[in-house]
Chains A and B, each alone.
Chain A
Amino acid sequence: MNFIRVTKRDDLPVRMEVIIRLVAIVLSLIAAGIVILVFGVDPVRIFKSIIEGSLGTTLRIQQTVVKAVPLIITSLGIMVAFKMKFWNIGAEGQITMGALAATWVALFMSDSMPLFAKLLLMALASMVAGGLWAFIPAFFKAKMGTNETIFTLMMNYIAIKFVTYLQYGPWKDPNSNGFPKIAPFPENAILPSLFGVHIGWIIAIICAILIYLFMTHTKKGYEIAVVGESTETARYAGMDIGKIIIIAMFVSGGLCGLVGMIQASAIEKTLVSGIANGYGFTAIITAWLAKLNPVIIIVVCLAFSMLIQGGAYIQIAMNVPSAVSSIVQGIILFFIMGAEFFLQYKVGFRHNEAKEVA
């Protein structure tokens, strides 16, 4: 530790920022290339294939978009909480509870209801459920100062296990020969498609616009940002911090809940315990990489989905083991996240007589 010293950067010229990011991308490609070579495949072809596989045809673009939708909306939800420095890592649970509420509407309310009425009801139910699931840790944080990180994390398991219980117990589909699954949604509970992708993509764009407006053009959004910067300042300015935390978390959880509804209605067409599928955690990365900016979130999530879709493509096209595409994704991510570290901190080496490197 004596040789390395890490100090926080305050102000970095834009030019340096760009250079660091570019270096990170180049390094990630080199490192990934080494791994690919070890597996005996041509790295250049792999990288070309990843782009081709994610954007090459209409279908591939659709596939990329489908993957980006839940990621975008979850990232938006997480962003609202993170802006407040409320570390909501409970998006998984909020997605699951949202899906649960949507499923309840889908399965137990009239099958003859018009499509959009039912979908609207499902969306509302999912947002309320996700919001309530986030409200619980927010309430305890606001009133008793509990640690939200552990609280929200634990709430994930409760939600997921509760759905497992329903799946194996009361909601088990009697027509599944005993296989523990919940009955499929009726026709009027399934999200329609537009341009080959379910309309979740439109919802994602609307959400991004709304959240952008909420965060930058409303008093609540401003309050959330102030609380995130300094609770003392918020107190000084007469803000009701507890209430702000609760409202922000309700919005955050509500968005995540909506993801649950979209995934259950458009993809699974039923409820499964794995509905959240890790989006709640991946979205932490994407929200962070996007610097908590709703517009950049869309870009980052699309890039992330390209990586996943491209990874699936190379597996088939080049016959590489699934582990290889996972490693490539991991390496690229590692370097890009690593760059963020160097953007925020500077690292110097010191030797006995050498000067400190700034």
Chain B
Amino acid sequence: MKKVLAILLALVMVFAFAACGSTPAEDDGAADAAELTVGFIFIGAINDGGYTQAHYDGMKAMEDYFGGKVATKYLENVNDSDKQASLDAARNLIDQGCNVIVGCSYGFMDALDELANSGDYDDVKFLHFSGNKMNDKNFGNFFGAIEQPRYLSGMVAGSMTKSNKLGYVGAFPYTEVQIGINAFTLGAQSVNPDAEVKVVYINSWGDPEAEKAAAEQLLAEGCDIIAQHSDSTGPQLAAQDAGAYAIGYNYNNPVAADAYLTAPIWHHEKFLIPTIESILAGKWTPESYYGSMSEGYVDLAPMTDLVPADVQDKVNAVKEKMVSGEFEPFSGKIEYADGSILCEDGQTLDRGQIWAIDKLVKGAVGVN
């Protein structure tokens, strides 16, 4: 016993010296010099290879752009279905000097809304990704026309499927997800009228195991390409294991190199940089930003060599039209699966109409 105690004491002393030796306060300085501190709340881990990493990279790119004028702080792995945790995260970031709070998941919306309107934080600006709430003093939201690259990824899938069955791992049967599924389906059908899309919802934004299980279920039902609206790379890995193809989401991350074709991706810095710039300039007013491919806010990740050149050409041709604004996914006659009409011949849906979508188009079937 005594021996053990002696060793422990020795260790304590070593650590005490080590502690004295290290120099604190170097990273404190950075925050002090900055004009603005932006706090990010992430739902996942910053290195998740998907959704959160895309946000994190956007944050880093923004920080680099301002070169010291803007400091960042962040909290990762914040549970967005736990409002207490969401509120705490925002409050703690503000407590530590953040003037701008960026909530990077749908579920943070109510917490940010509550704080923004509470009157306690009128000098703090709140930016929320993927929500629909805002006010006219300090709360704005941002999102993008991810349906554009989704349509393109649908084209890739439609061209390459042999079974004509495309699998889609969806988060929730919620408008944002349904828009994506519909765009993907329309893209696939534009090159392959026989293609149908099967959707399995996992009822979570991200859960690697559940995502993988959903993908496996779809593969078992004969799907030979797996697309996803979920945060992790689970579906891609499942597809690779089954010898099928996969289309990722959020972030260009070929972890499943034998399966990965492409992915609809986000470039959050395209929103963050101009927005922070206008906040710095004192000119910012809350807006509901909706970035498109033209601004480069959303994009299709470069297609890998697994995609035949002719398919790549075809897809790139449509992509160019999208960038130039000549083509929109939701245009022309589109029917819902139940036979009702989503879009009339010759009509192009505007943002409000797109965000009123509440079911799947013909050719797509979802199970909860």
Q: Do A and B touch each other in the complex, judged by CB within 8 A? A: yes
Q: Give the residue of A33, A273, A313, A321 whose beta carbon is less than 8 angstroms from that of B92.
A: A313
Q: Is the CB of A180 within 8 A of B172?
A: yes
Known A34-B15, A37-B18, A178-B358; judge A316-B84 contact (CB<8 A). no
Which residues on A sit within 8 Å (CB–CB) of B73? 316, 319
In the complex, what distance in Å separates the CA atom of A321 from the CA atom of B78? 12
In the complex, what distance in Å separates the CA atom of A43 from the CA atom of B24? 11
Which residues on B sit within 8 Å (CB–CB) of A66? 84, 88
Known A37-B18, A59-B91, A268-B83; judge A317-B172 contact (CB<8 A). no
In the complex, what distance in Å separates the CA atom of A77 from the CA atom of B12? 40
Known A177-B355, A267-B84; judge A316-B74 contact (CB<8 A). yes
Q: Is the CB of B89 within 8 A of A30?
A: no
Which residues on B sit within 8 Å (CB–CB) of A164? 203
Q: Is the CB of A277 within 8 A of B91?
A: no
Q: Is the CB of A60 within 8 A of B83?
A: no
Say yes or no for B114: interface residue by CB 8 A criterion: yes
Q: Is the CB of B92 within 8 A of A316?
A: yes
Nearest chain B CB to A339 CB, angstrom units:
15
Nearest chain B CB to A112 CB, angstrom units:
22
Say yes or no for A118: interface residue by CB 8 A criterion: no
Q: Give the residue of B15, B39, B358 whose beta carbon is less than 8 angstroms from that of A177.
A: B358
Say yes or no for B340: interface residue by CB 8 A criterion: no
In the complex, what distance in Å separates the CA atom of A273 from the CA atom of B96? 31
In the complex, what distance in Å separates the CA atom of A317 from the CA atom of B97? 10
Known A177-B132, A269-B83; judge A57-B95 contact (CB<8 A). yes
In the complex, what distance in Å separates the CA atom of A33 from the CA atom of B22? 14
Contact pattern, A 19-46, Cβ under 8 Å of B = 1, otherwise 0: 0000000110010011001000011110
Q: Is the CB of A43 within 8 A of B175?
A: no
Nearest chain A CB to B210 CB, angstrom units:
14
Q: Is the CB of B84 within 8 A of A312?
A: no
Say yes or no for A204: interface residue by CB 8 A criterion: no
Count B interface residues, CB 8 Å. 44
Say yes or no for B324: interface residue by CB 8 A criterion: no
- What size tier do the contact residues of chain A reach? 35 or more
In the complex, what distance in Å separates the CA atom of A177 from the CA atom of B15? 55
In the complex, what distance in Å separates the CA atom of A277 from the CA atom of B22? 38
Q: Is the CB of B106 within 8 A of A60?
A: no
Which residues on A sit within 8 Å (CB–CB) of B358? 177-178
In the complex, what distance in Å separates the CA atom of A313 from the CA atom of B110? 22
Say yes or no for A272: interface residue by CB 8 A criterion: yes
Q: Is the CB of A30 within 8 A of B75?
A: no
Q: Which residues of B are at the interface with A, using a C-beta cutoff of 8 A? A: 1, 8, 11-12, 15, 18-19, 22, 24, 27, 39, 45, 73-77, 79, 81-84, 87-89, 91-93, 95-96, 106, 110, 114, 132, 172-176, 178, 203, 355, 358, 368
